[in-house]
């Protein structure tokens, strides 16, 4: 199937994706380490910062579609990306020039809000005008672009974390401006998406799979967000040298990239409920090992297991969201808002559990949330199974 001639070349979208993903890596995965080592945050304060970031991201992503439509007569989707990337680059300079703690909070919260606008728009550019195998291929390239880029700051900042961690944020300022170059090849709006053609590539149970995925997606980020702020303190307890902390923390990110590659090249998982079940079990078990594992080996094993689960759930949720949601900014916005919800609930669960019983309390609270989420996650499967039985009986002579 030919691509819409007015759509944006995928290479340009991927170039901007790579740059912006490094910023995402800084804010979601590097800031907890910077807050601890450069600003001497205690674990509770670090969780509070992550909680605030999650709330801001949820609000921004949930309103991204409405915002772009509200200003489209003044600013195109490409213009929204340009303004957002510029703002992100500028705000990253605050911690470099101002030593006060408020500069970190400013950069973290404004940067988080801006990225919540960027990703729904980029996801629409990736998928709009593409259907079926073409959409799956584009999403594969997209996932294999942003996921490795998220890990770059974790490795690059290792040598300076103990002394000048704020430069890990400031360094994105110049890199982010490179993303503006890619916008030269962007169309003013995402490509035209033919709903009639798209519907022919949507499986009968895709809407039900999407319902379950939209429960598991925020849950996966609850686990992720509960882990990120406490991981620096877990490493300290295990005697890990500061130089190795962020590379070790990137274990799950690297594993997730491998999972993305497998799901891209082996499409057997499309339309299968077992895929979501496997992802849910892997991420839950991995989190338990990370928080309670007695050795560094067990923590690394937990990080790898978590990476598998997060990769499976993210890929499936994004694919079903954009396939069923016709590649609109609202579909990407809902996807990202659910991620933001996880980023909000995760630190809150961490604060609650830590206050109750330390690391064990965190695992208890988070697993309680997992159990509560199990009911709405399973209901769409049960409904789809009942419908299958009814359909099969109706076909019998």
Query: What percent of the chain stands above pLDDT 70?
Result: 90
Task: Answer for the pair 51, 344: CB distance below 8 angstroms, yes or no.
Answer: yes
Q: pTM value?
A: 0.82
Please tell me the predicted confidence (pLDDT) of residue 366.
81
- Helix, strand counts (H, E) of the chain: 18, 0
Judged against a pLDDT cut of 70, whether residue 59 lies above it is answered with yes
Element (H, E) at 123: helix 101-127
CA distance 127 to 105: 34
Please, which residues have CB within 8 angstroms of residue 364's CB and are 6 or more apart in sequence?
A: 353, 356, 357
Between residues 24 and 172, the one the model is more confident about: 24
Lookup result for tokens 């789809």 = 384
Task: Answer for the pair 362, 226: CB distance below 8 angstroms, yes or no.
Answer: yes
Task: Answer for the pair 218, 280: CB distance below 8 angstroms, yes or no.
Answer: no
| Per-range mean pLDDT, top range of 14-18, 119-123, 240-244, 369-373 | 14-18
Please, which residues have CB within 8 angstroms of residue 321's CB and are 6 or more apart in sequence?
A: 210, 213, 214, 331, 332, 334, 335
Between residues 339 and 109, the one the model is more confident about: 109
Task: Answer for the pair 53, 109: CB distance below 8 angstroms, yes or no.
Answer: yes
Mean pLDDT of 323-328: 64
Judged against a pLDDT cut of 50, whether residue 219 lies above it is answered with yes
Q: Which of 344, 391, 394, 392 is nearest to 369 (CA)?
A: 344
Mean per-residue pLDDT of the chain? 84
Binned at pLDDT 50, 70 and 90, residue 275 comes out as very high
Judged against a pLDDT cut of 90, whether residue 5 lies above it is answered with no
Judged against a pLDDT cut of 50, whether residue 299 lies above it is answered with yes
Please tell me the predicted confidence (pLDDT) of residue 395.
55
Q: Which two tokens stand for residue 245?
A: 């902390």
In the three-class reduction of DSSP (H, G, I as helix; E, B as strand; rest coil), residue 1 is classed as coil
CA distance 128 to 186: 13
CA distance 30 to 157: 8
Binned at pLDDT 50, 70 and 90, residue 3 comes out as very low
Mean pLDDT of 368-384: 86
Binned at pLDDT 50, 70 and 90, residue 209 comes out as very high
Between residues 68 and 147, the one the model is more confident about: 147
Binned at pLDDT 50, 70 and 90, residue 201 comes out as low
Please tell me the predicted confidence (pLDDT) of residue 354.
76
Taking only the tens place, the pLDDT of each residue in 102-144 is: 999 999 999 999 998 899 899 889 887 776 777 788 889 999 9
Alpha-carbon distances, residue 362 vs 205, 229, 340 (angstroms): 35, 12, 19
Which domains, and CATH codes, for the chain?
10-395 (1.20.1250.20)
State the CB neighbour count (10 A cutoff) for residue 167.
17
């Amino acid at each position: 199937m030919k691509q819409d001639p007015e759509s944006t070349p995928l290479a340009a979208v991927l170039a901007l994706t790579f740059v912006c993903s490094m910023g995402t890596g800084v804010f979601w995965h590097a800031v907890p380490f910077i807050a601890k080592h450069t600003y001497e945050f205690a674990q509770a304060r670090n969780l509070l910062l992550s909680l605030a970031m999650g709330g801001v991201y949820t609000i921004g992503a949930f309103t991204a579609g409405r915002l772009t439509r509200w200003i489209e007569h003044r600013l195109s989707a490409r213009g929204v990306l340009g303004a957002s990337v510029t703002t992100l680059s500028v705000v990253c300079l605050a911690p470099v020039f101002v030593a006060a703690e408020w500069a970190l909070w400013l950069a973290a919260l404004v940067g988080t809000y801006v990225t919540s606008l960027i990703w729904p728009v980029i996801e629409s550019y990736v998928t709009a005008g593409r259907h079926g195998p073409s959409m799956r291929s584009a999403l594969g390239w997209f996932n294999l672009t942003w996921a490795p880029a998220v890990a770059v700051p974790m490795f690059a900042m290792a040598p300076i974390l103990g002394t000048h961690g704020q430069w890990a944020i400031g360094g994105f300022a110049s890199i982010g401006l490179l993303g503006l170059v890619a916008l030269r090849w962007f169309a003013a709006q995402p490509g035209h998406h033919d709903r009639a053609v798209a519907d022919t590539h949507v499986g009968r149970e895709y809407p039900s799979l999407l319902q379950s995925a939209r429960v598991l997606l925020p849950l996966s980020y609850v686990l992720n967000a509960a882990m990120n702020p406490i991981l620096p303190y877990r490493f300290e307890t295990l005697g890990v040298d500061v130089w190795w902390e962020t590379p070790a923390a990137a274990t799950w990110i690297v594993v997730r990239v491998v999972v993305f590659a497998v799901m891209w090249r082996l499409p057997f998982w499309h339309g299968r409920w077992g895929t979501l079940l496997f992802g849910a079990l892997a991420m839950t078990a991995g989190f338990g090992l990370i928080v309670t594992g007695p050795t560094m080996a067990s923590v690394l094993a937990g990080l790898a297991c978590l990476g598998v689960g997060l990769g499976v759930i993210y890929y499936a949720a994004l694919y079903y969201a954009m396939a069923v949601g016709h590649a609109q900014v609202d579909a990407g916005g809902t996807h990202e808002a659910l991620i933001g919800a996880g980023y909000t609930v995760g630190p809150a669960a961490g604060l609650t559990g830590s206050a109750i019983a330390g690391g064990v309390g965190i695992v208890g609270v988070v697993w309680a949330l997992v159990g509560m989420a199990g009911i709405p996650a399973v209901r769409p499967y049960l409904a789809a199974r009942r419908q299958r039985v009814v359909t099969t009986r109706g076909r019998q002579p």
